[in-house]
Amino acid sequence: MTPDRLRQYLEFYRDLGVGDLYRREARVAAAAPEPPPPPVRIEVELPPMAPTAETLLQILEDIGDCQRCRLHEGRNKLVFGVGNERSPLVFVGEGPGADEDEQGIPFVGRAGQLLTQMIENTARKEGMPLRREDVYICNVVKCRPPQNRTPEPDEMEICGQFLYRQLSTIRPKAICALGGTAARAVTGHKEGVTKMRGRWFQWRDIPVLVTYHPSYLLRPYNQTAKREAWEDLKKVLHFVYD
């Protein structure tokens, strides 16, 4: 492997948040060819770089009956993602709730219905005939955390590789991060959501707009946050579809 290729691999995996790579000793051929190779050569053994042509189906197959972290213990259905694989806009939430865990589809409970309304109503008002199924919707973690608790850092790291592969495959024009957990996971910034909302960040070279999580908007007395979320949505829709 050339040093350039190796650098590419390492950068790719660093972007995915993978820090540890195995090293193994290369086997020495029994009959040494001419000129004889050095007796022992150290190679870096790399997980296969997610091919750019990887499909969402391949990622789903790779997840399989995932037991990579403790979240699998309480899950009914793994919630991978839904929508248009070629969408220029991807919404990322935190993790499935009870309804999503039951159906295997993200954002189908109360928060999900609000998200659907927000997307479709805002788009219609702005003169864009956009339906929920036109965008892609997924979460940072694919299995429901017990009692809907916030996913733990190790759970997000383990599952985050699949989110990153989904984003690498779709390569949307923009990503909308819903709530603080998604915002921090996607952007790497550690500020609170009230500081981050309405602002552009980046995931690799893709712009990320942060807004409130719809379940936060469902709480009473959140009129200001609701107005701000509508503003955020308009911003990202115009950026993507104008």
**Using the rule CB under 6 A, is 96 a contact of ligand URA?**
yes
Give whichever of 50 and 183 is closer to ligand URA, judged by the CB atom.
Answer: 183
Q: Which of 106, 145, 160, 180 binds ligand URA (CB under 6 A)?
A: 106
Residue 81 in contact with ligand URA, rule: CB under 6 A? no
Which residue in the set 16, 80, 94, 162 belongs to the binding site for ligand URA (CB under 6 A)? 94
CB of 139 to ligand URA, least distance (A): 5
Q: Are 63 and 143 in contact (CB under 8 A)?
A: no
Q: Which is nearer to ligand URA, 50 or 229 (CB)?
A: 229
Q: Which two tokens stand for residue 93?
A: 């939430």
CB of 198 to ligand URA, least distance (A): 19
**Applying CB under 6 A, does 151 fall inside the site for ligand URA?**
no
User: How crowded is residue 27: how many other Cβ atoms within 10 Å of its Cβ?
Assistant: 9
Peptide bond into 96 cis (omega under 30): no
Residue 112 in contact with ligand URA, rule: CB under 6 A: yes
Helix H or strand E segment including 119: helix 110-125
Nearer residue to ligand URA within complex by CB, 77 or 173: 77
Query: Please, which residue, 50 or 214, has the CB nearer to ligand URA?
Result: 214
* Residue number closest to ligand URA, CB atom: 93
Nearest-approach distance from CB 141 to ligand URA, in angstroms = 9
Cβ proximity of 59 and 162 under 8 Å = yes
In a 10 Å sphere around its CB, with 0-12 CB exposed, 13-18 middle and 19+ buried, how is residue 67 labelled?
Answer: exposed
For residue 202, the cross-strand partners are: 207
Q: Which residues sit opposite 24 in a β-bridge? A: 43
Q: What DSSP string runs through 126-173?
A: TT----GGGSEEEESSSSPPGGGPPPPHHHHHHHHHHHHHHHHHH--S
Whole-number minimum distance, CB 1 to ligand URA, in Å?
40
93: contact with ligand URA by CB under 6 A: yes
Q: Give the contact letters, 127-146, x = binds to ligand URA (CB under 6 A), - = no.
A: ------------x-------
Beta-sheet strands, E only, within the chain: 22-25, 42-45, 82-83, 89-93, 136-139, 174-178, 200-203, 206-211
Q: Which range of residues in 22-30, 39-47, 94-102, 185-193 is near ligand URA by CB under 6 A?
A: 94-102
Binding site for ligand URA (CB under 6 A): 93-97, 100, 106-107, 109, 111-112, 139
